[in-house]
Amino acid sequence: MENSLIMIPSLEPDHKLLALVEKIRLHNQHLPILVVDDGSGSAYQSVFSTLEQQFGCQVLTHPKNLGKGAAIKTALNEVLTNQPAVEFMVTIDSDGQHEYTDMMACLAKAQAHPDSIILGTRSFGKEVPLRSKFGNILTRNILRLATGLAIEDSQTGLRVFPRKFMTDLLAISGERFEYETRMLIEAQKRGWPILSQPIATIYIEENASSHFRVLADSVAIYSVFLKYLFSSVVSFFVDVIAYALLIHFLSVIDLSSIVIASLGARLISAIVNYYINRELVFGQRTKNSMLQYFLLVIVQILLSSFLVYLIYLILPIGDSVLLKIGVDCLLFFFSYHVQKNVIFKE
């Protein structure tokens, strides 16, 4: 493990940080520890001085609170710039939630799989505080639905990064808790293996010392998907209302009338959706985005019409509007992936 470094992001630490570092030093006197003081202020300088003087930690300080993502980036930059011998950086939380043995197990797995990101994965049973369980389950399921990324514990703070990924990790946007989620999405896009190592699930004092802001940080983590959901809901109502009006005037339900109604409704809603997605959701004006978007719309129209008609033949429930709603809900995620990764790609 001589080529490894422990990184601990810290904001306004209490005794748990000192206890954590003391425990590490009882087991290992030589493994370098880098602590990033994320703008804790002068009231906490005695803690960081103790870490430096008594335990031999390196402390880097942000003049103000920038966020956990920014702290991780500061550490990545330090490793790349000044510590050429370090091949693996393991991040652990400062509140005592991670055991030394679990950290070392993650490092051992990283050594065995040097081309992978390692996640210390917790289980979420009855003993886990509600807000922590809810946040992890919500993020896990949104990630799975939005990206296809199946990770049991997407919010774990115990992670190991190989040096070969660090430059790319620095370029990922996000400064607070959302950075950890975007990191996983970027890893999937680049084809980096993400491996899990089971670890103990520890919450001290109901996780009261966590600096996770339930509302603000959740919105940041899910921001793009939430804005896309808003855009889709608006366009969905425009599309369904227009479709219902058109199919009413066409009166006969057959494939041609469904295609015509779908085409007219989608043209109206697509114009609304394109501009909302371009300006609000993804904020990207990529070359040929309008052409690509309307090609996607045509594909969706054909898929929607064919599936509605096919289901109507099999299950003639008498209301193609309801069938269309169900089919378009399935196509929602298909469209999100194409727009995020192709049309409005950063």
Query: Does pLDDT of 175 surpass 90?
Result: no
Query: Does pLDDT of 207 surpass 50?
Result: no
How many folded domains does the chain comprise? Answer: 2
Q: What is the dihedral of CA 131, 16, 151, 69, to 10 degrees?
A: 90
Answer yes or no: do 175 and 26 share one domain.
Answer: yes
More confident call, 215 vs 301:
301
Compute φ and ψ for 5, nearest 5 degrees: -140, 140
Query: Does pLDDT of 83 surpass 60?
Result: yes
Q: What's the mean per-residue pLDDT of the chain? A: 80
Answer yes or no: do 305 and 263 share one domain.
Answer: yes
Answer yes or no: do 204 and 232 share one domain.
Answer: no
Distance of alpha carbon 236 from alpha carbon 329, whole angstroms: 9
In a domain, 69, yes or no: yes
**What proportion of the chain, given as a percentage, has pLDDT over 90?**
28
Per-residue pLDDT reduced to its tens digit, 97-136: 778 889 999 999 999 999 999 998 876 555 555 555 555 6
In a domain, 217, yes or no: no
Distance of alpha carbon 93 from alpha carbon 13, whole angstroms: 11
More confident call, 223 vs 309:
309
Contact 239, 304 (CB under 8 A): no
Q: Choose from 17-21, 229-233, 269-273, 329-333 the range with maximum mean pLDDT.
A: 17-21
Distance of alpha carbon 224 from alpha carbon 277, whole angstroms: 10
Span 336-342, average pLDDT? 76
Answer yes or no: do 193 and 109 share one domain.
Answer: yes
What is the pLDDT confidence band of residue 161, given thresholds at 50, 70 and 90?
A: very high
**What is the DSSP code string of 112-178?**
H-TTSEEEEEPP--TTS-HHHHHHHHHHHHHHHHHH----S-TT-S-EEEEHHHHHHHHTS--SSTH
What is the CB-side half-sphere exposure of residue 21 using CA atoms within 13 A?
A: 28
For strand 33-38 and strand 58-62, is the pairing parallel, antiparallel, or unpaired?
Answer: parallel
What is the pLDDT confidence band of residue 14, given thresholds at 50, 70 and 90?
A: confident
Residue-level pLDDT at 33: 94
Distance of alpha carbon 11 from alpha carbon 175, whole angstroms: 14
Domain of residue 75, residue span: 4-212
Span 43-52, average pLDDT? 92
In a domain, 130, yes or no: yes
In a domain, 146, yes or no: yes
Closest listed residue to residue 321, CA positions, set 331, 308, 306, 335: 308
In a domain, 160, yes or no: yes
Answer yes or no: do 242 and 324 share one domain.
Answer: yes
* Residue 117, strand partner residues: 194
Answer yes or no: do 50 and 163 share one domain.
Answer: yes
Answer yes or no: do 179 and 51 share one domain.
Answer: yes
- Asked which of 178, 212, 246 is the last residue of a domain, the reply is 212
What is the CB-side half-sphere exposure of residue 29 using CA atoms within 13 A?
A: 1
Closest listed residue to residue 155, CA positions, set 171, 173, 172, 176: 176
Residue-level pLDDT at 18: 93
Distance of alpha carbon 32 from alpha carbon 99, whole angstroms: 17
Answer yes or no: do 76 and 201 share one domain.
Answer: yes
For strand 159-162 and strand 58-62, is the pairing parallel, antiparallel, or unpaired?
Answer: unpaired
| Least confidently predicted of 40-49, 176-185, 231-240, 283-292 | 283-292
Residue-level pLDDT at 271: 81
H-only helix segments in the chain: 15-27, 45-55, 68-82, 100-112, 130-147, 163-170, 178-190, 214-250, 255-276, 289-314, 320-338
Answer yes or no: do 208 and 242 share one domain.
Answer: no
Answer yes or no: do 195 and 305 share one domain.
Answer: no
- Asked which of 212, 239, 263 is the last residue of a domain, the reply is 212
Residue-level pLDDT at 117: 93
Answer yes or no: do 141 and 230 share one domain.
Answer: no
Answer yes or no: do 44 and 11 share one domain.
Answer: yes
- Asked which of 153, 188, 212 is the last residue of a domain, the reply is 212
CA dist 135 → 121, 152, 174, 305, 314 (Å): 15, 12, 18, 37, 40
* Residue 195, strand partner residues: 118
More confident call, 182 vs 103:
103
Span 317-325, average pLDDT? 69
| Least confidently predicted of 114-118, 163-167, 247-251, 304-308 | 247-251
Q: What is the CATH number of the domain that holds 204?
A: 3.90.550.10
